[in-house]
Structure 1
């Protein structure tokens, strides 16, 4: 990381940024380049291991590409605000971001799928939902994939 003065290494601050970000951009190799798709997500952290969950259609380009090559990159940012200056070179931008990579896979296990959907809803709304475990047919209606995060970095300019 070039701007080490903006690197966030404190675990609590990293988690605060993760909780505030609501959209991640997933980069998936597609043979011609990289296919980038914005997604809402949820996550779990178990024994310091971050796993991101994404829902969507049960078929389509995103899932086809993940099945071909499961290694993905992701980026999320939040807390963005333009900082005005008197001249162009004095302008700046406040932000917080997380960039990382990991291995994606389709979630097939019904129990994990229900847990994943509940995590997505919790992250996006701040509310606990038991709908999926109480009515598994809701989970059957969508596809879910997870990213088991191998590494990530966090930056903030505030």
Structure 2
């Protein structure tokens, strides 16, 4: 990171940013080139390991790309705000962001899919939901095992 003065290194602060974010952008590559898509997500952080959870339609460009190459990168951001000034070049924008990379793994086990969807719904709504077999049957569920991530802020 070029601006070390803006780097966030404390895991508690990084997880607070993730808690604020409801949309993440995941980027991948397929035969047609680079592809990025915004998605809702949930996450766990246990034993110093960040895992992101997603649900999707069972087919499409994203699913095909992830099956061909599991490597992804991601970005999420929050606390946006325009910083005004008298001179155009002094305008700026405040934010907090997380970027990282990892590998996508498709979840086939019914119980693990239910757990992943519960984590996703809890993150998105703050509520606990009972997920049954019929709910997981119609969707693809995958997780990203995060290999590294960093945080940055501009106050």
Structure 2 CA distance for aligned equivalents of residues 54 and 144 of structure 1: 6
2:139 counterpart of 1:142: yes
Structure-1 residue corresponding to 2:119: 119
Listed as ranges, the matches of 1:48-59 within 5 Å are: 48-59=48-59
Map of 2:149 onto structure 1: 152
DSSP-derived class of the 2:145 partner: strand
Please provide the CA RMSD for this pair. 0.9
In structure 1, C-alpha distance between the alignment counterparts of 2:13 and 2:154, rounded to whole Å? 13
Runs of 4+ with deviation above 2 angstroms: none
Cα drift, residue 32 of structure 1:
3.5
The answer to whether residue 84 in structure 2 is matched with residue 87 in structure 1 is no
Q: Distance in 1 between matches of 2:87 and 2:126?
A: 41
Q: CA deviation at 1:31?
A: 2.9
Superposition map of 1:6-155 within 5 A: 6-129=6-129, 131-132=130-131, 135-155=132-152
Q: Secondary structure at the match of 2:8?
A: coil
Report the TM-score, using the length of structure 2 for normalisation.
Answer: 0.97
Where in structure 1 are there 5+ consecutive unaligned residues?
Answer: none
32 and 58 in structure 1: CA distance in 2 versus 1, 3 angstrom threshold:
closer
User: Residues of 2 paired with 1:139 and 1:32: CA distance?
Assistant: 30
* TM-score normalised according to structure 1 size: 0.95
Which consecutive unaligned segments of at least 5 residues does structure 2 have? none
